Amino acid sequence: MARNAAIHLGRRGLGALATGLAMAAQARAQSADPLPSWRPGPRKQALLDFVAAVTREGGPDFVPPPERVATFDNDGTLWVEQPAYTQLIFVLDRIRALAPRNPDWQQDPVFRAAIEGDIRGAVAGGSEGLLRLVGAAQAGQTPEAFQLIVSNWIGSARDARWNRRYDELVYQPMLEVLAYLRANGFITFIVSGGGVEFMRAFSERVYGVPPQQVVGTTMALKPGEQDGRIVLTRESHVDFIDDGPGKPVGIARFIGRRPVAAFGNSDGDYQMLRYTTEGAGRRFAMIVRHDDAEREYAYDRDSHIGRLDRAMNEAPGRGWQLISMKNDWARVFPG
């Protein structure tokens, strides 16, 4: 049958056939082990079983491809969030870079701390002070110009502990989960407290997640005109916080469909995990627990960043998979 059909294939048909063959090759490669950086065990198996169940046509748990929505938190789930959120480090670097043009910032203790690279001092002003820093560091440009600034920063800034770029401090096992789900017809979304335009500056290149599949915290955008062109300007106030109870709101607003699988690491993901697994039919939720001080960090209930307490307590009762970074991951970073 394939041979007869091939006779009728035109130039575009051959392209489509090549696509088919490439997909076949991909399918073969994946039948080996789609998650090579995961150690065998019940958590890895739970994910494999879930995907097998929801993709089995005619099976009781089958989910049609358009409904295979999977959502991923970013900080602490896809990349490192210690000793401070990467976006906070970006904000402080940016405040330092802009300081010469803003001499009045020296009069403000929060800004002075930021300029001096004193993270503790910069966050001592609480969320009010932090929002002022975030506003000053991230406002005034078009979304495109801002993403270029972020992109350039990501290309040069380095984490102090590993001397690696921040986009190299992503978790290899989670990159494999993203690719594995997509290969099985899932649509992968990022749903994170991070700034949406900050994440869009690298999400496609690093995670394979295009901008329209990134849901995050947003700063207000003001439409205007400049030199005869429409220009959108990032204002200095946050108009939606995509964290905690905001995550189901962000999902409903941007995606419009309840996820069948969700991945998080902290209590900021608690509502997203619940919103996912409270849906009808088979669902899957996973929590990355940071218990590996040697290869990454160990923190949970008492951490100021990525606190994991309530979600961990309720994980067993809700059927959420609690991943041990130390035991379940054969490797942490790519390369």
Q: How far is the CB of 168 from a second copy (least distance, A)?
A: 23
Query: Which residues does residue 314 pair with via DSSP β-bridges, in sequence order?
Result: none
CA angle 219, 224, 226 (to 5 degrees): 120
**Residue 64 interacting with a second copy (CB under 8 A):** no
Footprint (CB under 8 A) of a second copy, residues 29-48:
31
Give residues 157-186 in contact with a second copy (rule: CB under 8 A). none
Site map (CB under 8 A) of a second copy, residues 261-300, x = contact: ----------x--xx--x----------------------
> For residue 316, with 0-12 CB atoms within 10 Å meaning exposed, 13-18 middle and 19 or more buried, which class applies?
exposed
The interface mask with a second copy, positions 67-86, x = CB under 8 A, is --x-----------------
Nearer residue to a second copy within complex by CB, 173 or 246? 246
Q: Residue count at the site for a second copy (CB under 8 A)?
A: 60
Nearer to a second copy, 16 or 148 (CB): 16
Residue of 111, 198, 254, 297 interacting with a second copy (CB under 8 A): 254
Q: What's 61's DSSP letter?
A: T
Cα 177 to Cα 155: distance, rounded to the nearest angstrom: 25
How far apart (Å, rounded) are the C-alpha atoms in residues 54 and 60?
Answer: 8
Yes or no: say if 215 and 191 are a contact pair by the CB < 8 Å rule.
Answer: yes
Is the separation of the CB atoms in 82 and 297 below 8 Å?
yes
- Secondary structure (DSSP) of 259-304: -SEEEE-SGGGHHHHHHHHTSSS--EEEEEEEE-TTTS-EE-TT-S
Within positions 187 to 246, which residues make up the interface with a second copy, using CB under 8 A? 187, 189, 196-197, 200, 204, 210-214, 218, 221, 223, 229-230, 232, 245-246
- Using CB under 8 A, list all residues that contact a second copy: 2-3, 5-6, 8-10, 12-21, 23-28, 31, 66, 69, 143-144, 187, 189, 196-197, 200, 204, 210-214, 218, 221, 223, 229-230, 232, 245-246, 248-249, 252-258, 271, 274-275, 278
